[in-house]
Structure 1
Amino acid sequence: MNETEPFSFTSMQEVAPVAIPERQFIQSHDGIRLAYYPFLSETNTQTNVIIIHGGGAHSLAGYEHIAYTLQHDFHVNVFLLDLRGHGYSEGKKGDTPKVTDVWQDISQVVDVIKQQHEGALYLCGHSSGAGLLLQYLSWDEKRKVDGYFFIAPEFGYKSDTAKSNQVPFATVQVWKFVLSAMTKGRLMGHSEAVRFHYPAWVIAQDPLLLTGITINMSLALTPSAPQKQFARLDQPYGMFVGSEDELYDVDKFHPYLTLPNQQVKNQSVYQVIENHTHLSILLESGKKIGHTIQMWKSSN
């Protein structure tokens, strides 16, 4: 790994590509079309997973490997979602009209998947996609699903999980957030305030990656009170972190595990995956998610 890069991108370059299904679209509440990829099991299944990508990324930035594993090895339907303003979804790049629009998008996708596919439904987020998931689960209008997966979760600057010696992946213009908060969101909401440090060669290979997001999008993805929000989880979760993750001190996730109620804790899974980094964990997560779902189903 290049020591000036926030994390190792090369692990994802060396993996054999998988077959990608045809891109589909779901229309959200405000008419925006959200792109998604349905990896459907060839056998009749009662299990469905929606996967939310990380900051500035998109569905096919490594998440297809999770989907392919679940689809073929565990007979799970997987839906990779491009957030609005990301990938092939519509909307101004890296932005959202309102913070809650991003959460309403998730509800819209959940509703459509439930209409079209029977059985259990799980939500999964990687990196700041896991932060978005935690934000969504704290929203009064969230949809009920059967469980959650947090992969290398980025729970935000209040989470106390960052490594002290990390090469930062993002630069934040704090003054814009301050001004936005002081004006109750009237100012700066659509101004780019978080810049991602994707290396130039990575952007050249994948032009769909975003180099920045706005205040509104960042607020949608960043848990406002991560410990309190995690304590309120109402369904079992699986949390997986790589032992070599460049951004997080994996030991700092342990306090989170004690927070939810006893019933949630008893069914939940936390695992440090040896020798995996912030991105390479995507190559192993499909198996971990699949085995966890099997465990949950056998215990019911």
Structure 2
Amino acid sequence: MIDFISFNEQSAQLDSSLPRAEKITGCQIDGLYIRVYEPKDAIEEVLLVYHGGGANSDAGYDILARQVSHDGAVCVCLTDIRGHGRSTGQRGKISHPQQIWRDVDTVLGHVRATFPGARIHLLGHSSGGGMLINYFTRYTPTQKSDSLILLAPEFGPFAPAKIRRGVLLPFASVKTWPFVLNALTRGLLCGDQFAVTLNFPEEVLALKPGFVSRYSVNMANALTPRHPAKQLTALPLPVTALFAEQDELYDARLTAEFVKACGNQNLRSGIIQHSQHLGCMFTVSEEIRQHVMGIAGKSEA
């Protein structure tokens, strides 16, 4: 099971010791909540962050945003996926998977209009990473983005079984038959049916009552890669995939080997030492900086 207790302790400790952001603003765009952390320097790079399954931008991502925006000229934007956090929509449900991917276009359009001329980098943590893989490979984006970071990405049940760690209580419990009916009817049936339970401990839900503990078939399909190996191969922009060395869900070494075997020349991977599935977001700021500066260097060459 994911170590929520250590994560909450780390989050509280860092929250009290980190400097506050220079400027934080929040807004709603087409029902989507966005929180922007602006650095003191001129903004040349924007990092748009998508949270993991069942969570929202208040689940420790504030720490990541403050770390990255404090380091230099990177502006960080946190957003809540529709049906999560402060974004609108029924909790854990959407009308169809494409709605979530279109929302990424909506947020990107707003960010680009707000910071014209800045390079925009997408970061997806856990299921947020799975969602962004789908965005680029199962949908045709209408907005430009400059690169992608996958942080402890959730590749879902269609990834090789050997990369997933065996646990007594999996984080997600799945009812299979609604997905089968949905696939057989090409999305006509069962899309609105709750079919995934996210097994947050009761003490976590007490601390974070805004967490979503059930997903409909449509929501799960929006966040879960259907053919992860083929989709990783097809990603059309520079990608850095980062894996937590002590991830409770995946074996970092085997997962990195799986990603490398996909053969995408745009994609590089690395392992974040001494980190877990959630806590890796607190120790990844240097890797993010290197990724962003690398893209900037190529753009200016």
Fold match (TM-score > 0.5)? yes
Residues 131 and 153 in structure 1, CA contact (< 8 A), matched pair in contact too: yes
Q: Does 1:256 align with 2:251?
A: no
Between stretches 162-171 and 224-233, larger displacement belongs to: 162-171
Tell me how many residue pairs correspond in the alignment: 286
* Alignment match of 1:206 (pick from 202, 205, 208): 208
SS at match of 1:281: helix
Counterpart CA distance in 1 for 2:69 and 2:93 is: 31
Contact between 2:56 and 2:85, CA under 8 Å: does it hold in 1?
yes
Match of 2:6 in 1: 11
- Identical-residue share of aligned pairs (%): 31
Query: AA paired with 1:282?
Result: M
Structure 1 distance, partners of 2:26, 2:234, is 35
**SS in structure 1 of the partner of residue 284 of structure 2:** helix
1:11-46 Cα offsets, whole Å, 9 max, x none, are 23223326473431111xxxxx10111011121121
Q: What is the TM-score with the length of structure 1 in the denominator?
A: 0.91
Which secondary structure does the structure 2 equivalent of 1:23 belong to?
strand
TM-score where L is the length of structure 2? 0.90
Deviates more, 1:84-93 or 1:172-181: 172-181
Conservation of the 8 A alpha-carbon contact between 2:121 and 2:292: no
Could you say which residue in structure 1 is the equivalent of 2:285?
286
Q: Which residue of 2 aligns with 1:177?
A: 179
Q: What is the DSSP-based 3-state SS (H/G/I as helix, E as strand, rest coil) of the residue aligned with 1:16?
A: helix
Give 3-state SS (helix, strand or coil) of 2:296's partner: helix
The amino acid of 1:275's aligned partner reads: H
1:124 aligns with 2:127: no
Summarize the alignment of residues 117-266 of structure 1 with structure 2, pairs less than 5 Å apart: 117=115, 118-142=117-141, 143-160=143-160, 161-165=163-167, 167-253=169-255, 254-262=257-265, 264-265=266-267
Contact 1:11–1:279 (8 Å) recurs in 2:
no
1:109, CA displacement in angstroms?
A: 0.5
Contact 1:232/1:260, CA 8 A, preserved across alignment: no
Residues 101 and 139 of structure 2 are in contact (CA less than 8 Å); yes or no, is this contact kept in structure 1? no
Secondary structure of 1:294's counterpart equals helix
- Give the drift of 1:248: 0.1
SS at match of 2:291: helix
| Secondary structure of 2:275's aligned partner | coil
- The aligned amino acid for 1:48 is V
Q: CA deviation at 1:166?
A: 6.1
Contact 1:246 1:278 in 2 (8 A): yes
Give the secondary-structure state (helix, strand or coil) at the position aligned to 2:225.
Answer: coil
Name stretches of at least 5 consecutive residues in structure 1 with no aligned partner. 1-5, 28-32
Which residue pairs with 1:3 in the alignment? none
Distance 1:222 1:166 in 2: 22
Alpha-carbon RMSD across the aligned residues, in angstroms, is 1.6
